[in-house]
């Protein structure tokens, strides 16, 4: 349990640094005794922090926390100060709902599909202390939830189907693009001064040579902030992941890249997440397989995807990282129909902020506000 003072110091550190800080015993702690050394460079403490430490306000908060950590009240820790950057991964999976058991559901009886195999009316068994927030994708609008309006909602926090009056399939129309360009999560984070942020997926040169007439909600959300896209050269350098994380589809299209196992892809994505405050990753083969009603393809895709996610989680430092896995609508969990389902979607939370996020996420419109909160809490108050 945190004392009141510890809690206040933690929030102070977070508001001044934009970093989470704690003083406690255990592993992964950094001994911080030389304030001047930290303020001058801090390289031995946390490589990405020197600029923040030069900030007067940050120095003030640092002194207060260190003084507390060295005081009699915290004697057990003997100045062991734990300072960790707060980072968030939004892992988006297209067309994944929470279904019922039965032969229509490829998850039923499927081994090795943890953490994706979640069933209605059954407690979710989630590794790495994950928490489930069953999430409404219907958003109070009649009809089956669809990709363009659902993704717009996830990536902006605006209830897009309510705004345009219906669930919009496929790619965003002008009305949805207008919402994305004003409220994109990438734009909100940029305006709040959250750096660095990235869309981890890879674009091929073809996209830039002949830009498609219709672009995805994700592409529009990234462009709204002026952020660049990763290319195949970034993938080869370990700075990006393809939406088919094994690279098989890229190789079939003639790109000179190596195959990655799901475990290798998980490691690459984990290293990208560790180097950024906010990372988005998008996977959409699940939705295609759901529309195809291909049971065998579905089980193969789900097994590999689940392994990728478990490998990723095993490589992430979940004391520093918050992971939010979510979807725009159900589909693959019911192969008896080629349509999207009306099921809730699983939002699964891992890491430091999982409890507060799980408590606040009820619909797709709650995802972006939750992420922005985690990454900016405190700093917005200071700016006022």
Residues in contact with Zn ion by the rule CB under 5 A: 94, 147, 287, 328
Instruction: State which residue, 220 or 316, has the beta carbon closest to Zn ion.
Output: 220
Q: Find the shortest distance in angstroms from Cβ 152 to Zn ion.
A: 11
Any bridge partners for residue 230, and if so which? Answer: 202
Instruction: Take residue 1 and report the two structure tokens written for it.
Output: 């349990």
Instruction: State which residue, 287 or 334, has the beta carbon closest to Zn ion.
Output: 287
Q: Find the shortest distance in angstroms from Cβ 143 to Zn ion.
A: 14
Say if CB 333 and CB 343 are below 8 A apart.
yes
Instruction: Take residue 349 and report the two structure tokens written for it.
Output: 């939370």
Q: Find the shortest distance in angstroms from Cβ 377 to Zn ion.
A: 30
Instruction: State which residue, 6 or 94, has the beta carbon closest to Zn ion.
Output: 94
Instruction: State which residue, 145 or 157, has the beta carbon closest to Zn ion.
Output: 145
Q: Find the shortest distance in angstroms from Cβ 296 to Zn ion.
A: 22
Q: Find the shortest distance in angstroms from Cβ 169 to Zn ion.
A: 9
Using a CB cutoff of 8 Å and minimum separation of 24, what contacts does 213-217 make? 214/170, 214/171, 215/171, 215/172, 216/151, 216/171, 216/172, 216/282, 217/147, 217/148, 217/151, 217/152, 217/155, 217/171, 217/172, 217/176, 217/180
Instruction: State which residue, 244 or 287, has the beta carbon closest to Zn ion.
Output: 287
Place of tokens 């030389």: 34
Q: What is the DSSP letter of 364?
A: G
Instruction: State which residue, 22 or 94, has the beta carbon closest to Zn ion.
Output: 94
DSSP structure string for 230-270: EEHHHHHTTS-B-SSTT-HHHHHTT-------HHHHHHHHH
- 8 burial via Cβ count (<10 Å: 0-12, 13-18, 19+): middle
Q: Find the shortest distance in angstroms from Cβ 286 to Zn ion.
A: 9
Instruction: State which residue, 62 or 92, has the beta carbon closest to Zn ion.
Output: 92
From the list 267, 278, 306, the residue with the least C-alpha distance to 89 is: 278
CB-based closest residue to Zn ion? 147
Q: Find the shortest distance in angstroms from Cβ 117 to Zn ion.
A: 20
Cα four-point dihedral sign 383, 14, 314, 135: negative
Q: What is the DSSP letter of 168?
A: P
């Amino acid at each position: 349990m945190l004392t009141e003072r510890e809690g206040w110091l933690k929030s102070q550190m977070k508001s001044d640094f934009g970093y989470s800080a704690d003083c406690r015993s255990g592993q992964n702690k950094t001994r911080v005794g030389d304030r001047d050394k930290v303020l001058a460079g801090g390289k031995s403490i946390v490589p990405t922090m020197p600029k923040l430490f030069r900030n007067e306000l940050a120095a003030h908060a640092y002194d207060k926390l260190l003084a507390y950590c060295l005081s009699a009240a915290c004697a057990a820790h003997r100045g062991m100060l734990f300072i960790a950057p707060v980072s968030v991964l939004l892992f988006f999976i297209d067309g994944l709902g929470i279904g019922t058991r039965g032969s229509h559901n490829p998850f039923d009886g499927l081994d090795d599909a943890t953490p994706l195999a979640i069933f209605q009316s059954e407690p979710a068994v989630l590794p790495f202390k994950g928490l489930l927030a069953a999430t409404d994708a219907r958003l109070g609008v009649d009809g089956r939830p669809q990709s363009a309006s659902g993704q717009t909602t996830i990536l902006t926090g605006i209830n897009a189907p309510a705004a345009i009056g219906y669930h919009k399939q496929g790619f965003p129309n002008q009305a949805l693009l207008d919402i994305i360009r004003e409220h994109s999560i990438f734009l909100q984070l940029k305006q709040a001064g959250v750096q660095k942020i990235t869309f981890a997926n890879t674009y091929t040169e073809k996209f830039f040579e002949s830009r498609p007439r219709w672009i995805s909600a994700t592409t529009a959300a990234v462009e709204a902030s002026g952020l660049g896209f990763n290319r195949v050269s970034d993938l080869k350098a370990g700075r990006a992941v393809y939406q088919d994380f094994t690279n098989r589809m890229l190789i079939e299209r003639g790109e000179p890249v190596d195959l990655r196992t799901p475990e290798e892809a998980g490691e690459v994505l984990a290293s990208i997440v560790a180097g950024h405050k906010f990372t988005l990753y998008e996977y959409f083969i699940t939705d295609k397989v759901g529309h195809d009603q291909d049971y065998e393809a579905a089980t193969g895709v789900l097994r590999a995807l689940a392994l990728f996610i478990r490998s990723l989680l095993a490589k992430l430092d979940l004391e520093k990282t918050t992971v939010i896995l979510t979807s725009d609508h159900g589909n693959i969990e019911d192969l008896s129909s080629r349509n999207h389902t009306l099921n809730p979607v699983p939002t699964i939370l891992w890491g430091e902020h999982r409890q507060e996020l799980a408590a606040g996420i009820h619909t797709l419109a709650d995802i972006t506000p939750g992420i922005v909160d985690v990454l900016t809490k405190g700093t917005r108050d200071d700016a006022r």
